[in-house]
Structure formats: C-alpha cells, structure tokens
Amino acid sequence: MEAGRFLVSVRGIEEIIERLERSGELDFDGFKMLMEADESGRERLRAAARACADGVYGRAVYIRGLIEFTNYCRNDCLYCGIRRSNQNADRYRLTQEQIMSCCEQGYGLGFRTFVLQGGEDAYFTDERVCDIVSKIKEAYPDCAVTLSIGEKSRESYQAFFDAGADRYLLRHETANEEHYGRLHPPELSCADRKRCLWDLKEIGYQVGCGFMVGSPFQTLENLYEDLLFIKELEPHMVGIGPFIPQKDTPFGNMAAGTLDMTLKLLSIIRLMNPKALLPATTALGTIAPDGRELGILSGANVVMPNLSPVNVRNKYALYDNKICTSDEAAECKGCLSRRMERIGYNVVTARGDYIDKQS
C-alpha cells in the first residue's frame, strides 16, 4: 500500500516536470506537489532545471559587481534592516568618487556589469543619479550599468535610461495585494510596484523582478501568483532569495525562508522561464554555507559579488548575519570563482546580457 502510494506520487512528479520542460506550464496542484516533493522529487526537479540552464547558457555563470552606495531610505518596509524607522542603522552614502573607484577596481577584476543598489535616498536626485550613470558609461563604455534604487516616476526612469542605464532591478516582493499590504506600510502598494516594472520594460530596460522566499504570511497561493506574474511580465532577470529576519525590524523574530523552498523555486522559475537570468543570491549563501553553489546547481546562472568598500559593507544590513561583509572585492570574486569551478562552472566576465540580445 505504502509502496504503491509512493509510486503514484513519483509518477505524478515525473509528469509535472515533463510538462514543465515541454511547455513551461504548471498548474497550482502541480506547483503544490513540487513544493512538497521529497528528496527524489527534488533531485529530479533540480536535474531538469540544470539541464535547461545548461541548454541555454552552457556552463557559464555571469558575475555582476554590486555597489551598495547608500543605506538611507525613505521607505519603511517591515522586513528591511535599512527601513527609515530603524534607529540602529548606521547610515552612510558613498561619494561619486568612491563609486567611481569601486568601478575602477571592479573593471580591473574583470567585471563588465555594475549594479548600483541603494535605499530610496532623496540626496540622490535624478540629476545626481544621471550624472553617476553617465560618468560610469563614459569611463567604461563596454560595461552595463544596472540600477536598483526603488520606485520612481516614469520620467525619472526615462532620464536614467537616457543617461545610459541599461538594466533595472526592482523586486515586486509579492504579486498579491493583500500580502503586499502585510509586508509594507499603507503608503506603498503592489499596484504601484507593478506599474514601475511595466514602465521600465516599456522604456527599454532589461528588467529584473523577484521576491523573498518565506516572507512572513506568505502562502503557496501567493507564491503561485508570483510565478504567474513573472510569466506575464517576462522579465530578463528574476531575483529570489530567502527572507532573513533583521533584529531591529518588526519581523525580527519571524522564521527565515528555507533552503529547500528557495532551491525548488529557483528550479521551477528556470523551467518556466528558460532564458531568464537567475542569481544565486547572497541571502541564499547566508542561510547555507554552500547555498550559492546549490543555487547554481538548481538552475541559477548569475552571482553578484560585492564591490562596495569594506568599511561600509556591514552597514548595508538588510538582514542579520549577511556574508561577505569583511572581504575585499578581489577576495570575494576569487572566492566565488573557485566555488563555481569546484562544481564545474566558469565565471565569465562578459556583460552577460539576456540571451536574446547576445550576438
């Protein structure tokens, strides 16, 4: 009886994965089954996702140099360690010279994408952001510049694009309005967040959306809505990582997202969106020592070593126990390259555009 039931469930999973591989389609019941799959189901899912990524990108892992240039933020997201109400956050912002020097160092190490990420900091007006973007593009015309600075007006996004920004990362956080409301203060809305993503796409950016796995109050239904939203938006990148509590936030005592769920979701997202750029995030490396390696082996194909100056690294404390806060950029890149080589993948220094745009 037990063995019979086991066989049925394995066959069920096999069929779901085959359908996913064939058509990229997954209904809610299939999704639930995959998320609840045991070791053998998980292994089958992982292998399918990795084969899919190998088919599109081969054994290449793209790197992006992350520059966390300000931790001032006007927003008050309940999960985030740099939220404006966090009186314990030690605030900093980098000068334009410091940002340029991060790029210089990164360029020397082989980085060809710079990701400028920060809180929503009023000091960085559109004019200042445009100035930074155009200076970087002028100095490094062969590099891509990615911005990740939150919600702005369409006019601002257009101005950054005109100044030379190529890509924009803005996680949608959750596609469900009610869930969104439980993670954010009332002045922020899921509809506005989605509007930003559609504007960015229309303007011509390569766009990244994404969400935290295991964020407070998240249900499987919410996650399924996230997958449907990703299918609809067709972003170039999908950034997911586990939610990790930060002690000075209202969610400081909540449980973190799990490795198992994050890896399964990475695999499912890969199979539903074969060409997507999928990072194995720092948060994933924080909840498990080999989290980023497992992320790549589950279908991810991007890593984002930190290029920020070491003296500000631990101040960009979105969550507790963040890794890589004391390593110089060169060490961080060397470490990640070796980690990838050990599992049979090569860090490549190309710009690593979305595959449609590669020559």
In one-letter notation, the amino acid at residue 255 is A
Distance of CA 50 to CAs 60, 127, 194, 349, Å? 12, 42, 29, 21
Q: How far is the CB of 196 from ligand SAM (least distance, A)?
A: 9
Based on the shown chain and the rule CB under 6 A, indicate whether residue 263 belongs to the binding site for ligand SAM. Answer: no
Among 61, 196, 207, 244, binds ligand SAM (CB under 6 A): 244
Q: How far is the CB of 309 from ligand FES (least distance, A)?
A: 14
Based on the shown chain and the rule CB under 6 A, indicate whether residue 139 belongs to the binding site for ligand FES. Answer: no
Strands 60-63, 346-348: pairing is parallel
Residue 190 or 336 with smaller CB distance to ligand FES: 336
Binder of residue 332, out of ligand SAM, ligand FES, none (CB less than 5 to 8 A by kind) = ligand FES
Binder of residue 119, out of ligand SAM, ligand FES, none (CB less than 5 to 8 A by kind) = ligand SAM
Residue 208, SS3 per DSSP: strand
- Cα–Cα distance measured from residue 347 to residue 104, given in angstroms and rounded to the nearest whole number: 19
Residue with tokens 């220094």: 349
Based on the shown chain and the rule CB under 6 A, indicate whether residue 150 belongs to the binding site for ligand SAM. Answer: yes
Among 31, 229, 243, 345, binds ligand SAM (CB under 6 A): 243
Nearest to 328 by CA among 30, 117, 101, 128: 101
C-alpha gyration radius of the chain: 20
In one-letter notation, the amino acid at residue 43 is E
CB 356, CB 345: distance < 8 Å: no
Binder of residue 227, out of ligand FES, ligand SAM, none (CB less than 5 to 8 A by kind) = none
Residue with tokens 């520059």: 67
Based on the shown chain and the rule CB under 6 A, indicate whether residue 305 belongs to the binding site for ligand FES. Answer: yes
Residue 235, SS3 per DSSP: coil
Binder of residue 56, out of ligand FES, ligand SAM, none (CB less than 5 to 8 A by kind) = none
Residue 26 or 347 with smaller CB distance to ligand FES: 347
Structural tokens at position 195: 């509007």
Binding string to ligand FES for residues 336 to 355, with x set by CB under 6 A, is what? x-------------------
Based on the shown chain and the rule CB under 6 A, indicate whether residue 335 belongs to the binding site for ligand FES. Answer: yes
Binder of residue 248, out of ligand FES, ligand SAM, none (CB less than 5 to 8 A by kind) = none
Residue 205 or 319 with smaller CB distance to ligand SAM: 319
CB 341, CB 303: distance < 8 Å: no
Among 32, 59, 91, 171, binds ligand SAM (CB under 6 A): 171
Residue spans of beta strands (DSSP E) within the chain? 60-63, 65-70, 113-118, 144-148, 167-169, 206-213, 237-242, 302-303, 346-348
Please give the residue ranges that form the binding site for ligand SAM (CB under 6 A): 79-80, 82, 117, 119-120, 148-150, 170-171, 173, 212, 241, 243-244, 246, 283, 318-319
Please give the residue ranges that form the binding site for ligand FES (CB under 6 A): 305, 324, 327, 331-332, 335-336
